[in-house]
Amino acid sequence: MKTRNMVSFDWAMKRLLRNKANFEVLEGFLSELLHRKIMIKSISESEGNKSDKTNKSNRVDILVEADDRELVIVELQFYGQDDYFQRMLYGVSKSIAEHLQQGAPYSNVRKVYSVNIVYFDLGEGDDYVYHGTTVFVGLHTNSELHLNAKQQMLYRTACIGDLHPEYYIIKVGKFNDMAKNTLDEWIYYLKNNQIRDDFTAQGIDKARKVLAYEKLTEEEKREHDLLVEENRNRESEILTAYTDGEFKGREKGEAIGLEKGEAIGLEKGEAIGLEKGEYNKAVTIALKMFSDGVSNENICKYTGLSIHQIEKLIQK
């Protein structure tokens, strides 16, 4: 099936989707996610919306005002953050506080939806879309607490969770590219920056028209490509930092073993770094390379052993 190349969603959020003429795109995505029709009144500015070329933050967020009572935070995050769940909570709490006028009753607190599009593996789970709500369950009867008749008339719902914030997490990397429904069609775009011709999700046709890469001006293409390259470089930096830290931790662990005379066994060093089988294999390769005249530096490079370890092996 033919696909069309689109701009990345983070760039679209920064440059295109805040334009009122393009609200239909975000309305379609949110309608598919929340399973009801969403109409956007306005989209607020935020720090994450900067389009400055010097802005290298991977955080992109917009605040959508759906009606007089509902707010939707749409946030996109590329790189891992251990405290991201708390960040979600903070963002929701901040929005609630900022949109409640001083002295106003608590009944004026607005409903907030937190939509989080993450490109890293957040938490531990085997799905790619998660939904979180507030539910009160009796400790003795296991029954759910509901609003009373007066409250139901006031808020037009029986569910307490309808008054409290709701959270959505879309783990883009977990999606297997099999679009089984209209929400999956949007997630396919989020992951691949492509929209297939047979997709029919709400707002997807408008997205084809306004998010097509080929329709950008030359200046817009340069800005878009710069953002994509920055994200790619950042990903490389993170990977390098991770592997460097892993190697240094392994090297430090092996040094601890060597100081205690465990030059071959490395019982404590291996627990931190190489597994015993991997270490023995590295030793065999190192000795073969040494007998072939390979320098210690290159042996270190290709086996993962430290210079100190290699010198100890050669002495033995």
pLDDT digits (tens, 9 = 90+) for 238-274: 566 656 665 666 666 655 555 555 544 444 444 445 4
* Token reading at 220: 């817009």
| Nearest of 183, 235, 192 to residue 213 by alpha carbon | 192
* Token reading at 14: 């920064």
* pLDDT score at 79: 79
Choice among 108-117, 163-172, 244-253 with the minimum mean pLDDT: 244-253
Q: Taking residues 157-177, report their average pLDDT.
A: 95
* pLDDT score at 270: 47
Is-contact 76 10, C-beta < 8 A?
yes
- DSSP one-letter code for 149: H
DSSP notation for 274-308: S-HHHHHHHHHHHHHHHHTT--HHHHHHHH---HH
Is-contact 165 114, C-beta < 8 A?
yes
For the chain, which residues make up each domain, given as ranges?
Answer: 3-216, 231-315
Backbone angles phi, psi at 77, to 5 degrees: -135, 125
Residue corresponding to tokens 């975000």: 26
Report the mean per-residue pLDDT for the chain.
82
Using alpha carbons, list the distances in angstroms from residue 33 to 38, 120, 132, 210, 268: 10, 20, 13, 21, 50
* pLDDT score at 314: 80
pLDDT tens-digit readout, 194-236: 999 999 999 999 999 999 888 787 887 888 878 777 766 666 6
Please give the sequence-ordered ranges of beta strands (E in DSSP) within 189-241, or none if there are none. Answer: 194-196
The residue among 96 and 279 whose pLDDT is bigger is 96
